Amino acid sequence: MSGIVEGKRALVVGVANKRSIAWAIARRLDQEGARVALTFQGERVEEDVRRLAGELGNGPVPVLPLDVTDTAQMDAAVDGAAAALGGLDVLVHAVAFGKAEDLGGRFMDVSDDGFQLSLDISAWSLKRLAQRVEPHMHAAGGGAIITLSYVAAERAVPGYNVMGVAKSALESIVRYLAWDMGPGNVRVNALSAGPVRTLAARGIPGFGDMVENAIERSPLRRGITADEVADAGVFLCSDLARAVTGETLHVDAGYHAMAI
């Protein structure tokens, strides 16, 4: 039986290791019939990403270097993925960064350059990638873009600091891109995931407390997994979500709905 994204061609940006949400999404896209291209940021993670690419079944899987602050690499990655896959129908944006010294402590103490860097990498890079995939998606008759957010975009989460502001900007960018890209049948949505124990999450001060708090206060009284986020992501990339755009879909066991 065909998968719900059978035949779609997806560029997944942000896979770093086997525990990342980006990898869970890439794996589920592959399982549901999509062809996937992956990117890596720097030599430090290249080996891991290439090894993971070898685990996908709908190969060969293009693996391309991409630092989202490098315009030339961004151009090359998007065009290279489109050339290797024969077009692009899906973009998964799973990129975020905040300096360690700008997480924890007081938001008042976040540095100017730290804020600008976090906003550029975590939010503005979505717009820059969307610009580059748009012609390929128009050629395909439409497409779907998804990105990863967190409830700190809506509410203050002490210690998340500069990343919370960046996620707020990211969700706003999703809505503006949805309007601009809608006439070309390109949908743009965000997944607001609950806390998942990824390697990147270890750098967030008090992350363990965030997880326990979410479990205690979520209506489902449990945490979530990267695979659950991936399932929702594949839905948004599929034609089942053909009328869904400009949306932030919470995958957090209902935690966002609570006021306690």
Catalytic residue from among 150, 207, 235, 255: 150
Instruction: Give catalytic status of residue 255 as yes or no.
Output: no
Residues 58-113 pLDDT 10s: 989 999 999 999 999 999 999 999 999 999 999 999 999 999 899 888 999 999 99
Q: Going by DSSP bridges, is the β-strand pair 35-40/9-13 parallel, antiparallel, or unpaired?
A: parallel
**Domain spans in the chain, listed from the N-terminal domain onward:** 9-255
Q: pLDDT tens digits for 109-143?
A: 999 999 999 999 999 999 999 999 999 999 999 99
Catalytically annotated residue among 160, 207, 235, 255: 160
Tell me if residue 176 is catalytic. Answer: no
What is the DSSP code (8-state) at residue 195? Answer: P
With a cut of 90, say whether residue 209 has pLDDT above it.
no
CATH number of the structural domain 9-255: 3.40.50.720
The average confidence (pLDDT) of the chain is 93
The predicted-structure confidence for 229-244, as pLDDT tens digits, reads as follows: 999 999 999 999 999 9
The pTM of the full predicted model, rounded to 2 decimals, is 0.94
Instruction: Provide the 8-state DSSP code for 193.
Output: E
Written as one string, the DSSP assignment of 109-161 is G--HHHHHHHHIIIIIHHHHHHHHHHHHHHHTT-EEEEEEE-GGGTS--TTTT
